[in-house]
Every structure is written in C-alpha cells, then in structure tokens.
A = this chain, B = another copy of it.
Amino acid sequence: MKVAKFGGSSVASAEKFKQVAHIVTSDKERKLVVVSAPGKRYGEDTKMTDLLIALSAKIQLGEDYVDEFGQVIDRYREIVVDLSIPETIITDIITNLQSLIDLHKNDPFRLLDCLKASGEDNNAKVMAAYLNHLGFEAHYVNPKEAGIFVSDEPGRARVLPLSYEKLPKLRERSGILVIPGFFGYSEEGNMVTFSRGGSDITGSIVAAGVKADLYENFTDVDAIYSVDPRLVEKPHEMKEVTYREMRELSYAGFSVFHDEALEPVYKLGIPVCVKNTNNPEAKGTFIVAERPHGDTPVVGIAGDKGFCNIHVSKYLLNREIGFGRRLLEILEDEGISYEHTPSGIDNISVIMREHQLTPDVEKRVFARIEKELEVDEIFIERDLAMVMVVGEGMNSTVGIAAKATEAFARAEVNLEMINQGSSEVSMMFGVKADALDRAVQALYNTYFNSMYSISYSNIK
C-alpha cells in the first residue's frame, strides 16, 4: 500500500487533475491520496491559499467580500467544468465556505486558519469526485474521519499520538481514499493547520498511520537535486538520500521537503519517493533509512543565509568548568536557540539565526555575558552564511574535507568557521553571506563535476 501526496502545482488545473488521476489509477497500491490546494498554473498566478487569505482579510476588516469569495469559487469551478464533473460539488463548496465564515467570523485568527485549510479540504472533494466520474471507487475522507488529531495550535499543529490508533483503520476501507493535506482536527473539533509545507506532513502521518510500503511525494521536478538549481546548470539528481541527509539539507536551505514532515515516516523506516507529476516515469529520489555509500559519500550541497556569531574570549577559559553551560543558559533564558558552538582553547563562538537577536535581546545578552562570565572580549559577527556538504559515510572517507577547503581556496572564499563532528552526516562551513553562492558553486563543482576534481595521489 502506497500513500501518494500531490503538491499544489500537481493539482493546479484540470489538466493536472487528469495527470494525477492517471498516476493514481495506474498503480493499485496507490490507495491513499493526499492533495494540496490548487497551486500556481503559471508564474504570475495566485495560489488558492493566497485567495483564501485575501478572503479572510476582507471578512476581518468587515468589508464586502463577494469578489474574493467569487475568485475562490471560480478557481474550483474552472477545474470542475473542465473535468466535466457534476457541478453540484460547487454548491457543496460554497456551503462549506459560508459555514466556516459564519462559524468563525468573530475569531479572525481561527477564521484565517480554517479558510486556509479549506483550500486543501475542498480540493480533496473535487479530486474524489473526479475519480468517481472516471468510474473508479474513490472516497473523500475528512481528516477527522481519517483520525488525524492534532494539538490546537493554528499554523503549527503537532500530531497527537491518538491519531496512530485511528489511522490504521483506513487500511480496511475499499476504493481510493482522498484526504486533504495541511490540517487535522483538535480534540475539541477545530480544523487546525500544520506549519508551512503542511501537506507533506499529512502525507507522512497517513503513511505512518497505515504503515504504508512507500510514501510517494509528487511535485514538479524529476528528482531532488544535489544543489539549488538556481545556482548550477543541470544539477545532479539524487537517486537515494537518507532521512538524516535530507534533514541536514532541509535545514540548510533545501526547501523541497519540509524536515518536520519526515519525522513520522523516519520513525517507522517507511521510504519516501519524491516524483514528478508531469513525468511519472522518471524514477525520482528515494529518501530511505540507509543507502550504500560506495563512491558517492556526498549527496548534496546546501547553503543558507541569516546567521550571526557571538564570539567570547577569556584567558584560561578552558579551565573554567561550567563556562560553556552558563553561556548557553543565558541564551536559553532569552529563548534563543543556537546552531553550533565552535571553540578554541580560550574562546567560544555561538552561531545562531540572526533574526533572534533583536537590538533589545542583543543588549541584554551582551550585558549578562559580560557581567556573569567576566569575559575579556565579546563581539558579534553578522551576515554569515552556512554552507553544508552533506553525505553519510563522509566521515570514513579520507580527503573529503580537503576537497571542500581546497574548493573554497580556489574560489577565494575565506572560511570563517569549520564545524565537523565525528560520526557526521555533514560538514559545515561558515562564510560571509555575500560569498555564499560562490561557495556553494565551488563545492558543487568539486564533488559533482569531474572536470574540477584532482586526485591527491598525483600531488607530491
């Protein structure tokens, strides 16, 4: 049994619905289908979710919202008409939207969350209707009915363990089950959305719940690339990547798969396959528990900006038991999460996401560090970027670090920081933000472009 999730671009139009239906019905194992709301059909198009946000805003302002309401309905209507599905489903959607508005009009925050969720919810109804129209047994399954119970935190709901008691029952149902992504229900019965990329989370929860053999994640690329395709022409496609590798890549800027979305399947070791709706024959990228490393210890290069570094130094710091702990405690008191703490003998750097350090917080943190830790020096370094070379098995390969640092040297990128722990999935380099693209390109060329590779045995 497979769970197939289709992202916004895969369900953006009637044409796409046809592709999806073909994909779903061409493999009997594809019993569970998770859909997003309709995405963009072309560059300047507006996503369904954004139409719904605009609708919510109008209602909140107490203004007339007929136009916005109409745009939402028209988007569904166009798909329904083009697919020749009975138009009664449009009436259902209108009724559904209006009832959400009536229910939550005095609670703008909840209204926004429910309207956003309705984008997926109603789209799932259309998908089920279309499959029926084609003559297949298919059922729309509301997340409450499916058993997706979540914490009541709109925009960042977390799945409750209870879900995994109910979800296995889906295995017993006949036909294709179409489940909307992006939200679940609180125990009080509210629709509550997950964070960004939430449909991926739904797919993963359902896959874990029914103990699927495979979780297929359909999007609009043939595979996950080894590097941001905006930076490199015709980048290498990853055939296999482990959960841990994928998580590191997501952390450092890969937006293709939300890292939180991997957790449910990771725990059960259910493989994920990222595939292209427009080219389902392409093998895609498999996200798995383990992969043979062979001669590809490195699977990807990622980079992300927006980091800063608080650097403290103190003579004989190294002798002070508790220094590091107390430093981290000060940051923790301010709710700051840190990324890495490279250190010398008498100094420690704390790397963190820069947005956390508002001027107020920075002032307080600096004052406390100076006073409580009696440091000799403290300063902040801004506009840093992190570049990561990711790959399991790197650690046991001689020369991986050499290739990376040499690539930086050739590209004249100065290394602000290197952080490689033992038994690592990744090597992390800190560079100035303005050197990020150059750094990523240089690393990519070194690991994936044989033209650039040098053999160490030849340098004597």
Interfacial residues, chain A to chain B (CB-CB below 8 A): 244, 247-248, 251, 259-260, 263, 266-267, 309, 311, 313, 315-316, 318-319, 321-322, 324-325, 328-329, 332, 335-349, 379, 381, 395-406, 408-410, 412-428, 430, 454, 456, 459-460
Partner of A325, one of B263, B329, B401, B459: B329
User: Is B422 within 8 A of A430, CB to CB?
Assistant: yes
User: Is A341 within 8 A of B341, CB to CB?
Assistant: yes
Partner of A414, one of B263, B398, B418, B430: B398
User: Is B422 within 8 A of A381, CB to CB?
Assistant: yes
User: Is A420 within 8 A of B428, CB to CB?
Assistant: no
A313–B242 CA distance with the chains assembled, in angstroms: 15
Residue of chain B at shortest CB distance from A415: B401
* Copies of the polypeptide in the assembly: 2
Chosen A-B contacts, 29 in total, with CB atoms closer than 8 Å, are A247-B316, A247-B345, A248-B345, A251-B318, A259-B316, A263-B315, A263-B316, A266-B315, A311-B421, A311-B422, A321-B335, A321-B336, A339-B343, A347-B423, A395-B414, A395-B416, A398-B408, A398-B414, A401-B415, A402-B402, A402-B405, A403-B409, A404-B405, A406-B406, A417-B421, A417-B422, A418-B419, A419-B419, A454-B459
User: Is B309 within 8 A of A337, CB to CB?
Assistant: no
A325–B336 CA distance with the chains assembled, in angstroms: 12
User: Is A414 within 8 A of B426, CB to CB?
Assistant: no
User: Is B339 within 8 A of A421, CB to CB?
Assistant: no
A418–B322 CA distance with the chains assembled, in angstroms: 23
User: Is A401 within 8 A of B405, CB to CB?
Assistant: yes
Q: Which residues of B contact A347 (CB under 8 A)?
A: 421, 423-425
Q: Which residues of B contact A319 (CB under 8 A)?
A: 337
Partner of A311, one of B338, B415, B423: B423
User: Is B343 within 8 A of A341, CB to CB?
Assistant: yes
Residue of chain B at shortest CB distance from A459: B454
A315–B248 CA distance with the chains assembled, in angstroms: 11
A336–B347 CA distance with the chains assembled, in angstroms: 18
Known: A325-B325, A346-B244. A398 touches B423 (CB 8 A): no
